[in-house]
């Protein structure tokens, strides 16, 4: 049973509204009135039924294949419900042994089931292209056609069935176990804030990091030092976890004959190595944009040069807090200004127990949206600290949420997009929220603060994420060439990749060299981070088309969201008039960020905020 219930926020309790303390999701409906064990028992029955297909895949008619895929779909639904239920419960308290044991038990059973069905992917991959296309031409298979075509892209990287079964069976006790350990280690990180910052005991990492937005530099510096001190215990252990996963991936890439450390991720994203490198190269070539902004920001803040802990500093005159009720209304109004349909879906997240918002001891850091399964609804997890940027985080995750909700009609095989398109709706939601807020502001200082926040989000999502991609590239290559990396070596590579992006505009302190050690994407999804840049540039281009065409553009955007992952990224991009195959596409997106910088400069001048250090 879930320990949380769908209790609306008590608007008469200002503390509860400020902390979103009563905004908790209701996970029980995921089990659909059943239990974890009963759902898994039914899943095991379906696995046994599908196992009868062994050795016959080449002989299946389109009708028989469609029947088999419907059975696979039912299996995916059952496994998705159970897997998401135990995973989401564990994120509430990563230190709870009962929840951890429940998740491990489910993972073990799911892994055994997956191992028993390895044969299907291998037999499907062996079929000739002409035979496959004749099967998939049958409309009966439209619900899974793109999925089945995509699966065949792995043909050159599959092993024999005994080898695939072995790797599948050991995945739970291998890489999956190390990822879980890392999440437990980071959720237990404590930041001891001094009394002048309200520290009456240790706080979580998220609360410490949120103070880096404070307008008072002394507070930012103190908070950064406290975060660095909080990261020190267990640093070597987290480094060892990272080393182990780097080695595991190196072995897997070698066995599967991938040409580079990121090739597997690119294949999953339906992108070529060359196209991804073109994106990275285009962003690196415009590192002048963040460097110009941080130089300008130093002038605004009256500093000779920013330090790393100044980058997120608010340029507002004061750092006000935002209650949950006000924040949700801001985001819902913004969504409504674009599409009442999207706003209605987003409101369901707020009203129906689909969000878990408050910071709690041992809760997993960060924010995410869990798509769950098409027969259910998505969930959003936040760590609400009542800062202004939390409003944009809410807008971002609700963008994921409405995307997941609208794409449910595609079914279990086509609901999710590749990672490269997964950030499109979330970034678009943030951008719509920023634009709606900007229209409501008359005060030049407030307009500048919002323009700066919008620009900084773009810089963080495009340039910082590509800099982190460069860090990943360096550590994967170094681990393969040099062997196990020390925490100090990780720190060197981290500082180098960050300094390349920042140039002389920001001074990196010695403490910042350990801040690579809490970022989960490097651990759980190697190669993920460039997808943020991809999604941001795509979303900005989509938003530019909206500003050009107005309401007439909305139906195409909703069509894109409803399409989910039923097509390859280039086909999905064409729905909203974006040519992802055009080498100049990324440069055009970067030009939009350049114009954001120009707008921020103009806003700073209008507010009289530019001054010499």
Grade residue 14 by pLDDT with cuts at 50, 70 and 90.
low
Collapse the DSSP code of 369 into the 3-class scheme (helix H, G, I; strand E, B; otherwise coil) and give the result. strand
At 455, which CATH number? 1.10.1370.20
Q: Where are the alpha helices (DSSP H) in 407-486?
A: 419-422, 424-439, 444-458, 465-482
Backbone angles phi and psi of 311, in degrees to 5? -60, -35
pLDDT digits (tens, 9 = 90+) for 556-611: 999 999 999 999 999 999 999 999 888 788 988 999 999 999 999 999 999 998 86
Residues 103 and 193 in one domain: no
Q: What is the mean pLDDT of residues 502-521?
A: 96
pLDDT digits (tens, 9 = 90+) for 276-320: 999 999 999 999 999 999 999 999 999 999 999 999 998 876 667
For residue 460, is it within any domain? yes
**Contact predicate 231/517, CB 8 Å:** yes
d(CA 152, CA 181): 33
For residue 543, is it within any domain? no
β partners of residue 384? 358
Residues 464 and 514 in one domain: yes
Residue 7 reports pLDDT greater than 80: no
For residue 380, is it within any domain? no
Residue 145 reports pLDDT greater than 60: yes
Residues 167 and 192 in one domain: no
Backbone angles phi and psi of 17, in degrees to 5? -70, -35
End residue of a domain, out of 139, 173, 207 = 173
For residue 258, is it within any domain? yes
Which helix H or strand E contains 238, and what residues bound it? Answer: helix 235-255
Percentage of the chain exceeding pLDDT 70: 96
Residue 202: DSSP 8-state:
E
End residue of a domain, out of 524, 540, 566 = 524
pLDDT in the model for residue 319: 61
End residue of a domain, out of 147, 173, 199 = 173
**Contact predicate 207/385, CB 8 Å:** yes
Residues 464 and 519 in one domain: yes
pLDDT in the model for residue 420: 85
Residues 229 and 158 in one domain: no
For residue 24, is it within any domain? no
Residues 56 and 169 in one domain: yes
Between 77 and 11, residue with greater pLDDT: 77
**Contact predicate 105/131, CB 8 Å:** no
For residue 486, is it within any domain? yes
pLDDT in the model for residue 475: 98
Residue 233: DSSP 8-state:
T
pTM of the entire structure?
0.84
**Contact predicate 330/391, CB 8 Å:** yes
d(CA 188, CA 365): 10
The first and second tokens of residue 77, run together, are 């639904």
Collapse the DSSP code of 84 into the 3-class scheme (helix H, G, I; strand E, B; otherwise coil) and give the result. helix
The count of other CB atoms within 10 Å of the CB of residue 483 is 9
d(CA 328, CA 534): 27
Residue 322 reports pLDDT greater than 60: yes
For residue 583, is it within any domain? no
Domain count for the chain:
2
Grade residue 445 by pLDDT with cuts at 50, 70 and 90.
confident
Residues 222 and 98 in one domain: no
For residue 605, is it within any domain? no
Q: What residue numbers bound the domain in which 97 lies?
A: 32-173
| Distance between first and last Cα of the chain | 57
Residues 454 and 313 in one domain: yes
476 burial level (CB within 10 Å; 0-12, 13-18, 19+): buried
Residues 126 and 209 in one domain: no
The count of other CB atoms within 10 Å of the CB of residue 295 is 15
At 107, which CATH number? 1.20.140.70
């Amino acid at each position: 049973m879930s320990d949380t219930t769908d209790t609306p926020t008590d608007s008469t309790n200002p503390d509860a509204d400020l902390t979103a303390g009563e905004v908790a999701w209701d996970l029980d409906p995921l089990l659909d009135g059943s239990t974890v064990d009963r759902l898994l028992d039914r899943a095991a029955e379906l696995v046994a039924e599908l196992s009868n297909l062994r050795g016959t895949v080449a002989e299946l008619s389109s009708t028989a294949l469609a029947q088999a895929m419907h059975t696979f779909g039912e299996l995916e639904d059952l496994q998705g419900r159970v897997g998401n239920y135990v995973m989401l419960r564990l994120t509430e308290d990563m230190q709870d042994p009962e929840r951890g044991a429940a998740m491990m038990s489910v993972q073990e059973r799911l892994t055994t089931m997956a191992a028993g069905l390895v044969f299907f992917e291998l037999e499907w991959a062996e079929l000739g292209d002409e035979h496959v296309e004749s099967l998939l031409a049958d409309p009966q298979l439209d619900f899974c056609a793109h999925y089945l075509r995509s699966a065949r892209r792995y043909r050159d990287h599959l092993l024999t069935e005994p080898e695939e079964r072995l790797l599948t069976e050991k995945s739970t006790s291998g890489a999956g176990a190390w990822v879980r350990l890392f999440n437990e280690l980071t959720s237990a990180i404590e930041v001891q804030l001094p009394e002048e910052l309200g520290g009456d005991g240790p706080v979580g990492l998220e609360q410490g990091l949120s103070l880096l937005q404070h307008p008072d530099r002394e507070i930012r510096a103190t908070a950064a030092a406290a975060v660095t001190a909080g990261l020190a215990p267990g640093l070597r252990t987290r480094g060892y976890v990272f080393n182990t996963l780097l080695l595991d991936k190196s072995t897997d890439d070698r066995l599967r004959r991938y040409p580079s450390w990121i090739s597997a991720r690119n294949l999953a994203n339906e992108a070529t190595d060359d196209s991804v490198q073109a994106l990275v190269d285009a962003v690196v070539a415009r590192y002048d944009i963040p460097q110009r902004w941080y130089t300008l920001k130093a002038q605004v803040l009256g500093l000779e040069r920013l330090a790393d802990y100044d980058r997120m500093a608010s340029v507002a005159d004061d750092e006000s807090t935002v209650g949950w009720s006000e924040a949700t209304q801001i985001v819902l109004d913004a969504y409504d200004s674009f599409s009442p349909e999207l706003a209605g879906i987003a409101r369901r997240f707020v009203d129906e127990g689909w969000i878990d918002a408050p910071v709690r001891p041992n809760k997993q850091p960060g924010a995410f949206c869990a798509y769950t399964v098409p027969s259910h609804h998505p969930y959003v997890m936040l760590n609400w600290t009542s800062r202004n940027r939390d409003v944009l985080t809410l807008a971002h995750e609700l963008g994921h949420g409405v995307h997941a909700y609208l794409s449910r009609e595609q079914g279990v095989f086509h609901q999710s997009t590749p990672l490269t398109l997964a950030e499109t709706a979330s970034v678009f939601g943030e951008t719509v929220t920023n634009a709606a807020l900007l229209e409501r502001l008359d005060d030049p200082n407030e307009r500048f603060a919002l323009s700066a926040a919008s620009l900084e989000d773009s810089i963080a999502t495009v340039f910082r994420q590509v800099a982190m991609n460069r860090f990943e590239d360096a550590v994967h290559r170094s681990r393969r060439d040099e062997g196990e990396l020390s925490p100090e070596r990780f720190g060197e590579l981290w500082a180098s990749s960050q300094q390349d992006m920042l140039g002389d505009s920001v001074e990196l302190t010695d403490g910042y060299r350990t801040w690579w050690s809490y970022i989960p994407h490097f651990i759980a999804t190697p190669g993920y981070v460039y997808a943020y840049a991809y999604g941001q540039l795509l979303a900005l281009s989509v938003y530019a088309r909206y500003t050009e065409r107005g309401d007439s553009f909305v139906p195409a955007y909703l069509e894109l969201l409803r399409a989910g992952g039923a097509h390859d990224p280039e086909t999905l991009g064409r729905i909203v008039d974006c040519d992802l195959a055009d080498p100049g596409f990324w440069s055009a997106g970067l030009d939009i960020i350049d114009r954001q910088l120009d707008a921020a400069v103009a806003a700073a001048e209008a507010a009289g905020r530019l001054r010499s250090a």
